[in-house]
Structure 1
């Protein structure tokens, strides 16, 4: 038998034709890419990837052999259970938990805590109030402490610092990790550091041994310093936990928190015009592209949802949106929790600009476009009909909520 490797012209043609139904199956798996902060991210789910525990991912689906198993439904893999019966020390993490769930920043933080804990330590997650998260086990949490009550509702930094002081007195963690974010972790961490009379390390993106490296000089320089007890970490500070599951044993404070008269009164959220929110700070972005034919309906839908409007470069060049609303590498890099793309095919510059978004929803007529491949949720159909149905659903939900409240 000849050892000559023969080319498959048809397979090569399918790989170049983005409209072909088998185009996605012919694409090579991307093992690494550069994140928005210039840090190389690795595909921890890729075949052959060696994780921090030395476990190598093996293809058991038959896809590498071209078998029919790759067309079958995926089978849930039971990850190995990591247990720490008697922790030698604790690494405490206070995630932001925006919306009651772990964000990508929180998962990076837990990945960093897992590195610091090693095999002898346990990761203790401290959560304020009720939450909706059910994936603490796969995020690297060994112990979970929930501090709930009316004292921690809303904006209550003084009460939260008091709760963290109680946790510090009982568990005496080796390190405290908080996200250096605008969602509350940055402020809470600095208040907590002042309460402990310690100097925290801020905007930390890398830890090497007993030294940590943080961003300085408007993000243009790196500042190295000895590893302190309190760390405020930036996004992409570590790889999220993906190869182990953890016990998530609940723990409680041994003493009740003393009631104190707060000096800060939370008067509730202030209504803000979504159009006045800068694109880089928006949490919910409703973006339109070349596939939007009824822009009046698009604006009406964005207003009904209370979302900040964005647009692709094509829509901006055509004059439908202002230049400061352009999303992408040639416009604004966004970090929204929810990004809805209406009629956007997904050029590479646009996909780079939304790379840090948590959830992406795509509304498009083309089921094979790149935006559909990137999206966490896809809706295939005419945008006008979908937007009108979305407006009706929002009005029905709000009217029903008002009737139930009455």
Structure 2
């Protein structure tokens, strides 16, 4: 057989013709290449590309469009295990754990702790009460300490400071890291610093060697200072851990916690009108688009769910929603924990605006739209019937909870 490579003129013509059905199949797939700095780059737009966390990336090449195309199955990627049998020191992290799960701010904080720990130190996460998180291993946690007890439930800063003092006495960490957030980490960190009689570094967004840089002057200036033991870090202070998994070995306190009568009484959460919550701060957003035909039913469903209403640009331009409710690059960038998109096809500007949302639920008639590809959970069907069923399910659940309470 000859070693001469023959050309295929028809294949070359198909590769040049973007309108041909086999155009995508004729394109050379380059999964990785070396960048100008010697770093291996990955093609995140490749069909079936698997990210470092084992999550399949969105395919925008069009190769998965149509009924004949089959989606490439996601392959579970086993990340290398990072072990610290005998830690030389500890970096303690107290995540907010809003809703019992790690937020994006918490993951950034764990990424910063991983940088400070290096290869000899261990990241110790201190969690209060029960949690629902199952991804501590891929978030960078080497040791996990859960402080359980009813005294830590709700708003209990005094009891939590006592718990952190006990952890500090036993493990003597090199650094304490808490999120400088309004979800509790900012206040708890300052109370803990006052208890230790130490001056914390607040609103830290970068650490270089033995120096940290924090925001000052209403966020207009940077303030550099020596790296203290107690750090209150801002969001995006570091990249979250994505290339390794960790042991998450459970640890316990060797001594019991001291009990004292609290001076603060938690009277419970105050009911807030979801419509009064700014879009950028909303945790649960119920957003409608061009596919919504019954807007009265849409508003009724949002009220039943207790969600903040949002909309796509098309719905706002058509006058169905106010301009301040627009989600996307041309509207408001949102960071909701749950984002429900009803009748939204998923323009690139809209997908950019919801890029930081934890969980996306899509309700749409088109199974091939970009929003379905982006969503963590998709419901294919007519929106009116799905919303009616959703309202009925919510009422059934609440009536059952009332009967159980009675």
**Both proteins in one fold, TM over 0.5:** yes
Quote how far apart the aligned CAs of 1:98 are.
1.0
Displacement of 1:252 in angstroms is: 1.2
TM-score normalised over the length of structure 2:
0.83
How far is 1:70 from its partner?
A: 9.7
Deviation at residue 198 of structure 1 after TM alignment: 1.9
How far residue 33 of structure 1 moved from its aligned partner, in angstroms, is 18
- The answer for unaligned runs of 5 or more in structure 1 is none
Shift of 1:79: 2.4
Q: What RMSD, in angstroms, separates the aligned Cα atoms of the two structures?
A: 6.0
Taking the aligned partners of 1:312 and 1:157, their CA distance within structure 2 comes to 40
SS of 2:69 mapped into structure 1: helix
Aligned length: 406
Query: Does the 8 Å CA contact 2:338/2:360 hold for their aligned counterparts?
Result: yes
Indicate the larger mover: 165-174 or 7-16.
7-16
Contact 1:286 1:339 in 2 (8 A): yes
**1:273: Cα distance to partner?**
1.3
Q: Distance in 2 between matches of 1:9 and 1:366?
A: 37
Alignment deviations for residues 41-63 of structure 1 (CA, whole Å, 9 cap, x no partner): 99999999999999999999999
CA distance in 1, matches of 2:65, 2:318: 47
- Mapped partners of 2:237, 2:11: distance in 1: 39
Cα deviation digits, residues 244-297 of structure 1 (max 9, x gap): 222211111122111111111001111111112121221111111111100000
Q: Is the 8 A contact 1:129 1:148 kept in 2?
A: yes
1:216 Cα offset (Å): 3.0
Larger Rg: 2
Q: Aligned pair in 2 of structure 1 residues 284, 30: CA closer, same or farther (>3 Å)? A: farther
Deviation of the 1:374 alpha carbon: 2.0
1:305 to 1:58, Cα distance in 2 relative to 1, 3 A? closer
Change beyond 3 A, Cα 1:30–1:370: farther
Cα gap change, 1:194/1:97 in structure 2, threshold over 3 Å: closer, same or farther?
same
> SS at the partner of 2:70?
helix
- With over 3 angstroms needed to count, the CA separation of the structure-2 counterparts of 1:313 and 1:196, relative to structure 1, is same
Q: Select between 185-194 and 235-244 the one with higher mean Cα deviation.
A: 235-244
Q: 1:161 deviation in Å? A: 0.9
- The worse-fitting range, judged by mean Cα deviation, of 361-370 and 52-61 is 52-61
| Mean Cα deviation higher: 195-204 or 22-31 | 22-31
**Separation in 1 of the partners of 2:22 and 2:178?**
44
User: Aligned pair in 2 of structure 1 residues 322, 51: CA closer, same or farther (>3 Å)?
Assistant: closer
